[in-house]
Amino acid sequence: MLKSLFFTAILVISLNSILMAQYDVNEDESKVPPLALPDPFISKEGKVITSISEWENIRRPELINLFTEEVYGPIPGDFDEIKFEEVSESQNPLEGLAIFKEIDIRVSRKGQKHSMRLNLFLPQNSSKPSPVILLVNHREKSEDGKIAEDGYWPVENIIKRGFATASFHGETVAPDDAERFSEGVISNLYPEELPNPAGMRTFGAWGWAAMRAMDYFEKDPLIDAKKSTIVGHSRSGKTALWTGAIDERWSVVISNESGCGGAALSRRKFGETVKIINNAFPHWFNDNFKNYADHEESLPIDQHMLAMMMAPRSVYFSSAREDRWADPKGEYLSLKIGSRIYSEIYEQPVAFPDDFENLKAPVLQKHSGYHIREGKHNLTLEDWNHFMDFIELNQ
C-alpha cells in the first residue's frame, strides 16, 4: 500500500517534470503578471452588490452559473430514487474504537441505475450524533480503511477527536481517465451531459457522489449532518470546492493543495496553468474551460470567487511550501481576497496577514482559515490536525 502511494507520488512528480519541459512554466514570482481580478461585487448588469440579499439573490447565483458554464459543468441533483444498503464485506479495522459501515448507495433515474460505495467510521461510544468529515478519495481504494496508513486518511486520529469520517473512491462514479471518465454515473444516469460543451465531467461526477454521501448522512441517526465537512486533496480538493459551492449542506469546506482549477488564482499563471491542466486532464473540466488556455484574462471569474461561494459557511485552504506546481501563494491570495465576503457582506470580519512569505503559524479563525506546511505535495496527519482545529472552532 505504501509502495503504491510512493509510485503514485513518483508518477505525479515525473509527469509534472515532463509537463514543465513541454510548456513554458513560470515558477518565478517576479514574472507573475500584475493581478487584475474580476470584481465579485459588481453584477453582470453593473449593479454594485452591498447587501446579503443582493449577494444571495443576484450575484451568488450569477457566479455559480458562470462556474458551471465556463469551468466545471453542473452537479445534477435530479434522480428518481435513492436507496442505502448496509453491506458487510470487510472486517472492521478499528474494532473496539469505531463502528465501521460499508454502504452501497443505489440511485436510479429514468429507468437506469448507478451504485456507489461509501465507507464510514463512527466513534464507538458517542452519546450524541457525531459531526462527520467526508474525504473525497482518488488514490488507493478505501474499502477497508487502509488508506489510513500514511496519514492521507488518518481514521484513528479523526475518530479519537470525536468525529465520524467517511470516504468514497472517485472510480466508483467516474474513472480518472480521459477515455473512460464517462463510464460510470455520467453514461448511466446523465448521458445528456456528454455532448454538452458546458456539461458534467469528472469533477461533476465526483461531486455528485459527495452529495449522495451527504444524502446518506442526513438519514443516519448516528450522524449530525448539520455539522458536515468535505475534504479533498489536489484533484479531489478541486472537487471539494466545487461541491461545497453547489451544495450548501456542507458547513465546512476544506481544499488541500488543490492548485490550478481549485484554490489557486488562474490569472497568476504560476506553476500549472489552464492550458496545461486541460491538455493533461481534458476530462476534469467541461469543454468551455479549454477556451481560456493562454487566455486567463478573459475568464469571467477567478478562483477567489469560488472561495466566496462557501460564505456564510466556513472555508479552509492549505498548501505545502515545496508544492510550487500548485502555486501556494495563489492559493493563499484567492482565500485572502475571497474572504472579503465575510467582512464586507456578512459583517463577520476575518483577517489574513499581508506577508505570505513569512507566514509560519496557521491562520486559525472563524469562517476562513489557512495553513502552509513544510514539504511536498501530499495530504498528511499534520494537515488533518489543523483541519480538525479549524472545524472545532467553526462548529
Q: Which residues are catalytic?
A: 234, 377
x/- mask, ligand GTR, residues 276-295, rule CB under 6 A, reads: -x------------------
**CB distance 242 to 76 below 8 Å:** no
Q: How far is the CB of 277 from ligand GTR (least distance, A)?
A: 5
Using Cβ positions, the residue closest to ligand GTR within the complex turns out to be 234
Cβ at position 233, least distance to ligand GTR in Å: 7
Among 1, 15, 178, 381, binds ligand GTR (CB under 6 A): 15
Nearer to ligand GTR, 103 or 136 (CB): 136
Q: Which amino acid is at 285?
A: F
Residue 326: CB minimum distance to ligand GTR, A: 7
Smallest gap, in angstroms, from Cβ of residue 153 to ligand GTR? 15
Cα 240 from Cα 253, distance rounded (Å)? 7
Residue with smaller CB distance to ligand GTR, 199 or 232:
232
Residue in the block written with cell 474551460: 289
Q: Which stretch binds ligand GTR (CB under 6 A): 9-17, 22-30, 125-133, 301-309?
A: 9-17
The amino acid at residue 202 is T
Cell numbers for 365, please give them.
479563525
Does the footprint of ligand GTR cover residue 20 (CB under 6 A)?
no
Q: Which residue has 474499502 as its cell numbers?
A: 143
Q: How far apart are CA 385 and CA 381, in angstroms?
A: 6
DSSP state of 128: S
Q: Pick from 119, 234, 243, 339: which binds ligand GTR (CB under 6 A)?
A: 234
235: contact with ligand GTR by CB under 6 A: yes
Residue 201 found at the interface with ligand GTR (CB under 6 A): no
Asked if residue 169 binds ligand GTR (CB under 6 A), the reply is: no
| The one among 259, 330, 338, 362 contacting ligand GTR by CB under 6 A | 259
Strands 314-320 and 368-373: parallel
Give whichever of 140 and 272 is closer to ligand GTR, judged by the CB atom.
272
# binding residues, ligand GTR (CB under 6 A): 9
**60-67 helix and 235-246 helix, angle to the nearest 10 degrees:** 140
Please return the burial class of 144, using the count of CB atoms within 10 Å of its CB with bins 0-12, 13-18 and 19+. Answer: middle
Distance CA 316, CA 163 (A): 18
Region of residue 269 (phi > 0: left; psi between -120 and 50: alpha; otherwise: beta): left
Q: Which of 150, 220, 272, 331 binds ligand GTR (CB under 6 A)?
A: 272
Q: What is the DSSP string of 195-244?
A: T-TT---HHHHHHHHHHHHHHHHTT-TTEEEEEEEEEEETHHHHHHHHHH
Q: Which is nearer to ligand GTR, 243 or 394 (CB)?
A: 243
User: Which residues of the chain form contacts with ligand GTR (CB under 6 A)?
Assistant: 12, 15-16, 234-235, 259-260, 272, 277
